[in-house]
């Protein structure tokens, strides 16, 4: 470095202030992200978004446990809880009594029903499962349907309205009381609209 270059004035003015402003900005950005994340719904939220919400439900069809062809659209006119399940899935085992209670009430009333869709399971296991744990609703075999519904795991359920429109997606095991609440809300909304 020459003497001339050394003699050149150093632009050191306001360095401390710049650092302070930079730190302030970084702090602001961090605070914003923390705020965004903190206001998100918790991970164990049961009602989850679905791209199918408000759209016609995929018309899933397939043989039931007796080999009879069943199609989802044949249940139009009543609310349908489409339930993806597997016998190897512990939350599915847990939710089964809840589903049975729900079906017992609404099967007789005729306003709502359950349609289960088998998720990667053996037919013999499913038959045994329903024999042991009850549940006389249709159970459809259709492996491709999990993609049609955008299902990520089991159990996952969708409440479909009497017009065949998807209302809600429920991730994880369902509870009878929560289902009743959802159904009541759906009916109320339908009457109001």
Binding footprint of another protein on the chain (CB under 8 A): 2-4, 7, 14, 17-18, 21, 24-25, 28-29, 32-33, 35-36, 39-41, 43-46, 48-49, 51-52, 86-90, 93-94, 97-98, 119-121, 125, 128, 132, 143-144, 146-154, 171-173, 175, 177-178
Q: 120 or 185: whose CB is closer to another protein?
A: 120
Distance in angstroms (rounded) separating the CA atoms of residues 53 and 149 = 10
> Rounded to the nearest 5°, which phi and psi values hold at 26?
-60, -45
Determine the 3-state secondary structure of 162 from DSSP: coil
In whole angstroms, how close is the CB of 8 to another protein at the nearest point?
9
C-alpha to C-alpha distance for 92 and 86, rounded to whole angstroms: 6
The span from the CA of 9 to the CA of 21, in Å, is 24
Tokens of 68: 């009879």
Q: Which is nearer to another protein, 143 or 163 (CB)?
A: 143
DSSP state of 192: H
Q: Which is nearer to another protein, 77 or 97 (CB)?
A: 97
Sheet holding 139-140, edge to edge: 47-48, 166-171, 156-160, 79-85, 112-118, 139-140
SS3 174: coil
Minimum CB separation of residue 77 from another protein in Å reads 25
Kindly state the smallest distance separating residue 79's Cβ from another protein, in Å: 21
Q: How far is the CB of 192 from another protein (least distance, A)?
A: 28
Tell me the closest approach of the beta carbon of residue 16 to another protein, in angstroms.
12
> Which residue, 121 or 161, has its beta carbon nearer to another protein?
121
15 vs 68 by CB, closer to another protein: 15
């Amino acid at each position: 470095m020459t003497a001339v270059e050394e003699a050149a004035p150093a632009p050191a003015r306001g360095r401390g202030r710049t650092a302070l402003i930079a730190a302030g900005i970084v702090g602001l950005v961090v605070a914003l992200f923390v705020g965004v994340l903190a206001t998100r719904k918790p991970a164990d939220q049961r009602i989850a978004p679905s791209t199918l919400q408000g759209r016609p439900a995929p018309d899933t069809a397939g043989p039931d446990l007796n080999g009879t062809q069943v199609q989802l659209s044949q249940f139009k006119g009543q609310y349908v809880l489409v339930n993806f399940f597997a016998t190897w899935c512990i939350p599915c085992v847990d939710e089964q009594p809840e589903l049975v209670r729900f079906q017992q009430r609404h099967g007789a009333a005729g306003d709502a029903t359950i349609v289960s869709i088998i998720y990667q399971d053996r037919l013999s296991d499913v038959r045994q499962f329903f024999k042991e744990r009850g549940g006389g609703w249709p159970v459809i075999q259709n492996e491709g349907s999990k993609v049609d519904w955008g299902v990520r795991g089991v159990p996952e359920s969708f409440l479909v309205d009497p017009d065949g429109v998807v209302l809600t997606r429920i991730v994880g095991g369902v509870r009878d009381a929560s289902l009743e609440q959802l159904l009541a809300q759906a009916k109320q909304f339908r009457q109001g609209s």
